[in-house]
């Protein structure tokens, strides 16, 4: 069997992680995913909670890039430095570096982890390693946002013809119309649907209210909208 690609086969960028996670674990989920825009970037998640958090961060328009599994060395004695593996660092569109540690709520009950994180946060500021250090738990995961983030990740690759048609349809939008109506207006069926979702990912279109995105969702122009 052979496959032919008009524009050639392009692989995603390799992971930027500073250490590789285990290929499998008997105690928790591990995952490898391709996120980002265009050809994408490979990312390694050491748990289901990490994977979900990566998806949500990837879907945020303010996030310009992600790097997982990053070493942070700190301490007073340069010969005996402590180290912490930061689950993911998000670089924002305005150049900030936001470090995230991702843990389930059950790991916070004793208070020991939070105490350690306070020390790490102080050193990050002292060493100018990151602009902020934040904790993510399962409480931070909105299921509608997670489902939408999965959909955004699934339509990562571009389809130039369909994208151009979808943008024309978006430019003609006044008020709100359902995603189904906009898809029919493209005349491209599933290709038009994916292209419209990409415009939502990019901020040119947005739901009229916070909800799980479906064909019935009412869509309006986003704050990044511009004419083609």
Q: Which tokens in the block code for residue 203?
A: 């901020």
Residues 199 and 196: their CA atoms lie apart, in Å, by 5
Whether residue 178 contacts residue 216, with contact meaning beta carbons closer than 8 Å, is answered with: yes
Q: Which tokens in the block code for residue 201?
A: 């990912």
H-assigned helices in the chain: 48-59, 112-126, 143-154, 160-171, 179-186, 189-202
pTM of this structure: 0.89
The contacts of residue 49 (CB under 8 Å, 6+ apart) are 102, 103, 104, 136, 137, 138, 141
Q: Which tokens in the block code for residue 185?
A: 């207006």
pLDDT tens per residue across all 228 residues of the chain: 444 445 566 789 999 999 988 776 666 788 999 999 888 999 999 999 999 999 999 999 999 999 999 999 999 999 999 999 999 999 999 999 999 999 999 999 999 999 999 999 999 999 999 999 999 999 999 999 999 999 999 998 889 999 999 999 999 999 999 999 999 999 999 999 999 999 999 999 999 999 999 999 999 999 765 544
């Amino acid at each position: 069997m052979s496959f032919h690609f008009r524009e050639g086969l392009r692989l995603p960028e390799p992971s930027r992680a500073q250490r590789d996670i285990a290929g499998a674990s008997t105690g928790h989920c591990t995952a490898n995913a391709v996120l980002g825009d265009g050809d994408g970037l490979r990312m390694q998640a050491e748990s289901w909670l990490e994977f979900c958090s990566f998806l949500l961060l990837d879907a945020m328009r303010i996030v310009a890039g992600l790097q997982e599994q990053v070493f942070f060395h700190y301490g007073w004695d340069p010969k005996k430095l402590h180290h912490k593996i930061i689950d993911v660092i998000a670089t924002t569109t305005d150049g900030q570096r936001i470090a995230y540690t991702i843990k389930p709520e059950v790991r916070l009950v004793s208070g020991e982890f939070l105490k350690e994180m306070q020390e790490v946060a102080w050193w990050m500021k002292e060493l100018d390693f990151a602009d902020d250090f934040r904790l993510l738990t399962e409480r931070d995961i909105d299921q509608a946002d997670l489902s939408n983030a999965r959909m955004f990740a699934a339509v990562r690759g571009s389809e130039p013809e369909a994208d151009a048609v979808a943008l024309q349809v978006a430019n003609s939008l006044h008020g709100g119309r359902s995603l189904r109506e906009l898809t029919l207006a493209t005349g491209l069926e599933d290709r038009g649907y994916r292209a419209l979702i990409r415009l939502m990912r990019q901020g040119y279109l947005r739901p009229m209210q916070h909800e799980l995105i479906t064909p019935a969702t009412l869509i309006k122009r986003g704050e990044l909208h511009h004419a083609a």
